[in-house]
């Protein structure tokens, strides 16, 4: 199993809304010092209940996220990323689907098609008079970050549930949750 978290590389983007995929993987790895380098990604190997799991963070910018599949198999994956259309506090698990306007997902679909499981993490709603690109590249407020910590914990539980019990059970359990 490979879990791919989407984000932008570098300290400048570390705490931005667009980097929640990276944040989930960092929390799962419990250490930022143990990551190893692949051709255009960083990875961390771990076990979840005896299953070998590889966490992958592409080192390309978001719009080129699909390029990681030049070097990785695309079967048995889960992609974790931000979703502007979901409110902060919601996650949505899907077996497949469209990009929904997300450029990182558009890039992945261009490389492997749209049939891959994904976990979308809500970062919305976007304020009315703010450009979408500016919003996703903005940092979370301290209050939002406090809520995000809870969302990340639940997302990790959802990933473990997919690995242990399958995506259908995880969808039934986690798609209805609103984290406060």
C-alpha span between 77 and 6 (Å, rounded)? 13
Tracing tokens 């390309």 back to the chain, one arrives at: 60
Q: Is there a catalytic annotation at residue 102? A: no
Strand-strand pairing, 77-87 and 2-5: parallel
Tracing tokens 């261009």 back to the chain, one arrives at: 110
Q: Which CA distances in Å does 140 have to 23, 46, 54, 146?
A: 12, 28, 27, 9
C-alpha span between 29 and 17 (Å, rounded)? 20
Query: Shortest CA distance to 99 belongs to which of 87, 89, 74, 85?
Result: 85
- 30-59 per-residue burial string, b: 16 or more CB within 10 A, e: under 16: eeeeebeebebbbbbeeebeeeebbbbbbb
Which residue among 18, 74, 111, 165 is the active-site one? 18
Q: What's phi and psi for 103, nearest 5 deg?
A: -65, -35
Active site residues: 18
């Amino acid at each position: 199993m490979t879990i791919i978290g989407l984000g932008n590389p570098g300290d400048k983007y570390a705490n931005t809304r667009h980097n929640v995929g990276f944040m989930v993987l960092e929390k799962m790895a419990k250490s930022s010092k143990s990551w190893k380098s692949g051709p255009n990604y960083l990875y961390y190997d771990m076990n979840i209940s005896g299953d070998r799991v590889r966490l992958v963070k592409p080192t390309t910018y978001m719009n080129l996220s699909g390029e990681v599949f030049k070097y990785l198999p695309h079967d048995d994956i889960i992609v974790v990323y931000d979703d502007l259309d979901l409110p902060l506090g919601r996650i949505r698990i899907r077996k497949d689907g469209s990009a929904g306007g997300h450029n990182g997902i558009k890039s992945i679909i261009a490389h492997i098609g749209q049939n891959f499981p994904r976990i979308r993490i809500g970062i919305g709603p976007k304020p009315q008079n703010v450009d979408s690109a500016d919003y996703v590249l903005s940092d979370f407020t301290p209050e939002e970050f406090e809520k995000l910590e809870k969302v990340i914990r639940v997302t990790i539980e959802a990933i473990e549930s997919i690995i242990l019990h399958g995506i259908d059970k995880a969808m039934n359990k986690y798609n209805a949750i609103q984290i406060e």
